[in-house]
Structure 1
Amino acid sequence: MFSLVANAGTVDGRVMKQAATLRDSGYDVWLYGLLVPGSAESEQAHGINVRRIPYFDSKKVSSRIKATALSVFGRNQDLIDQTDKALREANARKQELANWLNEKRERVYYEAANKATGHFLKKKYKSKKQELKNLVAELEAAKGSVFYYRYYQFAENLISHRFETLPDIIHAHDLMALPGAVALSKLTGAKVIFDAHEIETERTPPLPADRKQFIKELEEDLFQHIDEMVVCCDSAADFYFDIFKKKRPILVMNAPDNRFLTNTAPPGHDIRSQSGLSAETPLIVYTGAVGLEARGVDKIVQSLRYLPGYHLAIQGPRKDKFDSWLRAIAEEEGCLDRVHFLQSVPQDILVDTLRTGDVGVCAFQDVSLNHRYALPNKLFEMAFADLPLCLSNLVEMSKFIQRVGNGVCMDETNPSAIAEAIRHVYENRQRYTLSPSGKEALSREYSWATQARRLQEMYAKLGRPIAFPKLMA
């Protein structure tokens, strides 16, 4: 089977957990991801064959490959086709300019017949060089701004790849990978699974109206060609059932793989020790990407104003601008010395790393339907680390707290209310420690073993047909 995702692949915990589960179930798993700086085109990762392809590639493809890639875009086919022609013409012009400059370089500087000719050639050379520079800048800007074209280019590059084997099932993670999955299924007869990590039309920050309409139409057109759909929470299943219509999507939550839990912080990864804190110091834990306001980490930092003596450890992937942004807020609140920015750790030790905190907090803001329905992996990671939780008072998080009973929901928009919830949970930690029934519910309903079983059952129903390729590139 093929697993497709529009990132490097191995960095995506959901993708890798599923790939490992299917590998252990006897499937020959090939993961096709995105070639990004620092990643290899080909590697083996945990027994999984990983291959990576670029988003944009100006290489020529056969008319059949182009037609197949375009055909899956339904109502947006003309839009994609026009954009593709314009970008390819610009790429051709870029190559033409580059060739001219290479031919003229020596003549301009070393072989001018006389001073006047040399001056003319040099001036023309500089003019053409600037033209090329401008064109390259325009092309790069177009690649980033032509939102919808990335879906097509990824699909075209995928199906023009020379595969070492062919799939019987193609599992597309997120919408960016789905056009390629559908196009490849047309060439191989493979069945298609769409795994919606997000509600695509409701991403954060909100999409402009034209992009949202493109996504809506693309989903409706592509969903006619998929065999199964997977989502991360019940609310997303309800949302997509209205669009998919064939059947209710399969629920596979973002639970951590609890097979690797040791119930002890790994050596060198005790967040309390890393933060330089004593056992008596109240320690709040936030894990996951930081981003800007939508994740509410700024409000968690601001809540420290009302929590003298409490410290906050932030563990997760960040870009420097996010650290700078949060540091400025912490400095303004007078609590920078109580905020600890820790490095990410591998997924297989993350849960055990979190164990030395006192309270886990997740303050997603209700800025989109995607956030309102969020049931993020960080929630499960903190729960399996036995941390009592303070969560946003949103649909899925509220349901989780009611079911498991290991924390409270709070007004995620108000730093004072966040502080009140944190203090209450910290001072009543025994009350919010998982009870035997809570542990049983967490393990039975939310463990990766349960999610893996659903995944395996779905694959078993699809069967394992032999794909007879019509013709590959």
Structure 2
Amino acid sequence: MSEAHLVALATAASTAKHAAAEPAAALTTASLPEEPPLVLMLSMAHPPEDIRIVRKEGASLAKAGWRVRHLCPDLASSNRRADTARAALEGVAIETFARRPGWRGRLAALPGLIRAAAASRARVIHAHEPDSWLAAIIAGWWSGARVVIDVHEHYPSRLDTRLPRALRPVSRAVMRGFCRLAGLAADAVVVARQDLARDFFRPSRAVSARNHALPSDTAPRAHAAGPLTLVHVGVLGRTRGVFQMLDTLALCPPGTRLRLIGRITDGSGAEFHARAEAMGLADRIEDGGWVAQEALPAEVARADIGLVLFQPVDINHRLALPHKLFDCMLAGLPVIAPDFAPETAAVVHEADCGLLVDTADSAAIAAAVAQLADPALRARLGANGRRAALARFGWPEEAKHLLALYQRLAPLPVAPKGERA
């Protein structure tokens, strides 16, 4: 972690603060227009262009009139001197700092992140992981900023797969206690799924901002007869069904193909490709890696069926409401999704946009693919999903909850009489 970079950010903000206090060209404070409040999106682990943080929450706030910055790590630069890296996306100013990977890097980054947030002059610090929650709370005490903690997943169970079974209840209790204390110390709690509010005091007061679909004018898939292409979007690994995909592909007709948009992140990539080669499936798999968010809808719409194959091994999978579900719906693809995940299943059922199966059973997945070989069925379910993603399950409806919260925490300035807002 480049401590020097975060200190530089804090120093620059402090210098700007003092400079702003000096009289300038006989202007009085009263004659200057009031500046919109600054919102600092604070991340310890999320990437600079994170969909939820920047393209959904940050962009919505910026469009409504708030000034928004995202201060986040650039892990690619962790081994070199970190000069200030600035950019802008969707009206959100992005500033990155270098830090070392792993929990040691996160721990080492914490003091500097606190100082940078405190010196940012933000009216609201909006933090997105438990360690950045802590940084925001301490920085808020120092600076007087309001603090929002954003709950992306079920953190009490986050360490379950890394701990012996006997230690998991203790770990969950400790993390649940931290969540409750953080919620009390913060001015507001925002949750990506309503079930996540249960780990906080007064869960009914949590603000829901679910990961619903961003609007898109990309043409949806035109379904026709012929060989099928299955697609998976985003992070992939054992617990997200990567090997079930292989077994499913082996059970499908020879012309069936699998497209992976994203990457395998749990270290199982070499085994996946070796097994695909051994099964004679390698030439039927397109591993395309990440694509730019702007190009994603069109890339997804090149496929026929979307796969959401979370495995029933993790509470976060049971509570999942993933971006990939809405990406596929928006592209007009029917989805095959887990029947054990209540929120995901509720969306698929309400929108009538796909089939729910036991995602641990490759034969059940293959049977769903066979059912969706009917182009008329794919077209009907895909159209249902797209219509729902653009309305009932669209991000603009969720953004209204966030904007109402911010208008309470840091109201936008009212234009003086005689001036247009």
Does structure 1 conserve the Cα–Cα contact (< 8 Å) formed by 2:123 and 2:410? no
The corresponding residue for 1:128 is none
Q: 1:428 to 1:49 in 2, by over 3 A?
A: closer
Cα pair 1:173 1:197 within 8 Å, conserved: yes
Could you tell me which residue of structure 1 aligns to residue 292 of structure 2? 346
2:362 to 410, 415, 420: 415
SS at match of 1:177: helix
| 1:220 partner letter | R
Residues 157 and 465 of structure 1: CA distance in aligned 2, closer, same or farther (over 3 Å): farther
Deviation at 1:30, TM superposition (A): 1.7
Which residue of the partner structure matches residue 457 of structure 1? 404
Structure 1 stretches of 5 or more lacking a match? 57-142, 273-277, 467-473
3-state DSSP of counterpart to 1:386: coil
CA, structure 1 residues 287+447, in 2 after alignment: closer, same or farther (shift >3 Å)? same
**What is residue 312 of structure 1 aligned with on the other side?**
258
1:132 counterpart residue number: none
SS at match of 1:160: helix
The aligned residue for residue 94 of structure 2 is 50
- 1:345-364 matched pairs, under 5 angstroms: 345-364=291-310
Query: Is 1:3 aligned to residue 41 of structure 2?
Result: yes
CA distance in 2, matches of 1:440, 1:37: 39
Name which of structure 1's ranges 447-456 and 153-162 shifts more when overlaid on structure 2: 153-162
1:15 aligns with 2:15: no
Deviations along 1:85-121, one digit per CA (max 9) or x if unpaired, are: xxxxxxxxxxxxxxxxxxxxxxxxxxxxxxxxxxxxx
Structure number with greater Rg is 1
- The answer to whether the 8 Å contact 1:194/1:228 transfers is yes
**Counterpart for residue 116 of structure 1:** none
Q: Deviations over 1:389-447 (max 9, x none)?
A: 11111212211111100111011011111100111122254366248766543322211
Q: Paired residue for 2:71? A: 32
Match of 1:215 in 2: 175
Q: Which residue of 61, 84, 90 corresponds with 1:41? A: 84
Give the letter aligned to residue 392 of structure 2: E
Task: Determine the C-alpha separation between the residues in 1 that align with 2:373 and 2:232.
Answer: 15
Return the match for 2:187 from 220, 227, 245: 227
Give the whole-Å Cα distance in 2 for the aligned partners of 1:156 and 1:320.
29
User: Aligned-pair distance for 1:24?
Assistant: 1.1
Alignment partners' CA distance in 2, 1:331 and 1:10: 35
Say if 2:353 and 2:384, in contact at 8 Å, map to a contact too.
Answer: no
Letter paired with 2:155: E
TM superposition score normalised by structure 1:
0.70
Kept in 1: contact 2:352–2:384 (CA 8 A): no
Partners of 2:213 and 2:327 within 8 A in 1: yes
Consecutive unaligned residues of structure 2, counting only runs of 5 or more, are 1-38, 414-421
* Residue 214 (structure 2) aligns with: 257
1:161 to 105, 112, 116: 116
User: CA–CA distance in 1 between the matches of 2:231 and 2:327?
Assistant: 11
Matches for 1:69-80 after TM superposition, within 5 Å = none
Please give the alpha-carbon distance, in whole angstroms, between the structure 2 residues aligned to 1:445 and 1:14: 18
Identity over aligned pairs, percent? 24
Letter paired with 1:15: I
In structure 2, distance between residues paired with 1:31 and 1:304: 40
**CA separation of 1:216 and 1:235: change in aligned 2, threshold 3 A:** closer
In 1: Cα distance, 2:371 partner to 2:159 partner: 31
More deviation in 398-407 or 157-166? 157-166
For 1:279 and 1:165, locate their aligned partners in 2 and report how far apart those are by CA, in whole Å. Answer: 56
The alpha carbon displacement at 1:463 in A equals: 3.2
Among 182, 206, 210, the residue aligned to 2:137: 182
- Please give the per-residue CA displacement for 1:141-184, whole angstroms capped at 9, x wherever unaligned: xx95xx5x766544311122387740111111121210001011
Post-superposition Cα deviations, 1:243-294, rounded to whole Å, max 9, x if no partner, equal 2326432221223421x432179xxxx9x9xxxxx98321111111112x10
Q: Distance in 2 between matches of 1:205 and 1:37?
A: 28
Q: Whole-Å Cα distance in 1 between the matches of residues 63 and 291 of structure 2?
A: 24
CA gap of 1:395–1:432, structure 2 versus 1, over 3 A, is farther
Secondary structure at 1:29 match in 2: strand
Distance change >3 Å, CA 158–CA 21, structure 1 → 2: same
